[in-house]
Structure formats: C-alpha cells, structure tokens
A = this chain, B = another copy of it.
Amino acid sequence: MKLYIGIDLGGTNIAVGAVSDDGKILSQKSCPTDSARGYAAVIRDMAELAEGAAADAGFSKNEIEGIGIGCPGTVDNKSGLIVYACNVDMKNVPATDEMHKYFPNVPVVLENDANAAALAEYSVSGNGADSFIAVTLGTGVGGGIILNGKIYHGFNGVGGEIGHFTLVHDGIECACGKRGCWETYASVSALVRQTEDAIAAQPSGLMAKIAEKDGKVNGKTAFAAAKQGDKAAQYVVEKYLTYVADGITSIVNIFQPEKLVIGGGISREGEYLLAPIREFLRKYDYNKYLTKTELGIASLFNDAGIIGAALAAKSAK
C-alpha cells in the first residue's frame, strides 16, 4: 500500500489525514488555522501534522508518496500558488514551495478544495463514469467537474465554478460581484435568507417557533416545518428546491455528465431533496431521448476534503 497525505485547509481548522492509495483515511490530525500568524507558521503546522499522521498510520516521513493541499478560493494548481483565499486570509502564498522545505523529495500539489472534494466523491461513487460532477450546497454553491477521472481546471486553474452561472438575470448580487448567480439562490445561506423572509411575513408560524427553539434560523428550519405539514414552510422548501433543480438541470444540459452527486449538509435530507430535483430534471432536461444523468447524494461529507487532496496528489503522479 502506498501512503498519501491529504490536507484540508479551512478558515477555522487545518485537517490532515494519512490516506491509503485506495482513498481510505488511516489516521487524522488537526489544529486551528489561526491565519493571523502568517502563512509560514500555518504551513509549518501542516508539515508537522502530516508527519504525525503518517507516523500514526505506521509510515515514516520518507515513505509518503505525495502530499495534496486543498484550499478554498483561487489557487493556481500549475504553480502551486494560493492566489487569493479570503477564508484563510492568504494572498500570493507559494504553498507547494513552502511545503517542499519540509518534504524536499515529496511531490506536493495544491488544489481548490471543492475540486478535491469532487475527486473524492468520484473515487467512491463515480464507478469509472467518463464525466462526473459534484455539487456542494453549503455557504456557497461549490462544485467540481471530473472528466475521464481527472479534475477539470480550465486553462488558468479557476474552472469549475458551477455555482457562478447566472440563474436569475439581474437578480441578487453575489459575493463574486456578479448578479443572480445560482449560488445566491441555491446555497444554504440562500435558504436561510428565504426562510427568514417567510418568518418575517408570518412571525407566529411554525418556522418561527422552530427557529426560536434552535436559537436561530438554519438550513433545516424550513425542511423540519414542511415535514410537519406547515404550508408556508412547504412553499419555502418547494421554491428553494426549484432553484436547486433549475440549476442542476442547467449543468446537466451543458455537460450531460454520467453521474451528478449533491453534497453539503442539506444533502442529508436524502430523497426528500432528490425526488423533486429528479422530477424537474426528467421534465426539463434537454436530453429527451438518450440515457439520462444518474443523480445521487454525495457520501463522504467532511472527509471529502482530506481524501480528495490526497487523491489529487496521487492523480498528479
């Protein structure tokens, strides 16, 4: 068995795993990111955690075959530069070069975290699909495109931002600066906003009560109330799922991927989420005659970042 290191660099924590070449996490370590201390200290911690995770899995530093770093934001996978990642407060950080100081003989790759997560999902549920897309409904709408088993990067490394096509022309302004991005309507943040709007219109309804009990509105509020038969919540959920489904159908019309999986916390709703999306796709997919894209739920959740970063290192060999 060969050993890879997968690093999931997040705004709050750095999670590092020792990963087998078939994508299993053998051991895992983490520490706070604390990006205020500067990138050199952050990357030194990554290196220490990597060596520690490898040791816990029974491997020496020299036995590591490759290291993958998954990072949010804009990264240049060719040069190994973190171009701009606001969540971890890094700009123009030569991440792979810095990591090589600790592992001079080990290949190090840098990858966008959503791309890495998509590669991980592909490894567990892609079944060798020639085209595979993972969509993550979270704070934003992220995603990754896997073609012939490899991450699609675009020519500059920034490709695959499937949450940032326009779904609502001249709609709500997105964090990216453009108006009406799919993300602005289909992310969990968008669902929270839509739920809050519905609560403001009906402050004594069931959604308001659930939110009060939970201390705040979250991505589950409307789903929970809808399942209890609350009409206003059912309307919120239906409208939200229409935004999600319209976007999924758009992506399918562009790619006709063999498989598409939906991840992020909201994907724990399972068939309750998937059934209406599948129905929308059945009706509105451009492909009316040939085999349709298989829809599924992502399966790795939080581990996707570590596993995907490790597999990106493996795939670069």
Chain A positions near chain B (C-beta within 8 angstroms) = 74, 76, 83-84, 129-131, 147, 152-162, 164-169, 171, 176-178, 180, 185, 243, 246-247, 249-251, 253-258, 283-284, 286-293
Contact = CB atoms under 8 A, between A and B. Distances in A.
A166 B283 contact: no
Given A164-B286, A169-B168, A284-B177, A156 B246 contact: no
A84 B290 CA distance: 10
B250 A164 contact: yes
Contacts of A249: 166, 178
A247 B253 CA distance: 14
A131 B155 contact: yes
| Number of copies of this chain that the complex holds | 2
B178 A258 contact: no
Contacts of A74: 287-290
Given A84-B289, A167-B169, A178-B286, A253 B155 contact: no
A155 B152 CA distance: 16
A286 B131 contact: no
A78 to B, nearest CB: 10
Nearest to A253: B164
B290 A177 contact: no
Contacts of A167: 166-167, 169
B165 A251 contact: yes
A163 to B, nearest CB: 9
A241 to B, nearest CB: 13
B169 A243 contact: yes
B168 A290 contact: no
Given A155-B130, A289-B83, A290-B74, A283 B253 contact: no
Contacts of A254: 159-162, 164-165, 251, 254
A158 to B, nearest CB: 4
15 contacts: A154-B256, A154-B257, A155-B291, A156-B287, A156-B292, A158-B287, A160-B254, A161-B286, A164-B250, A165-B253, A166-B249, A167-B167, A177-B283, A177-B284, A177-B288
Contacts of A84: 288-289
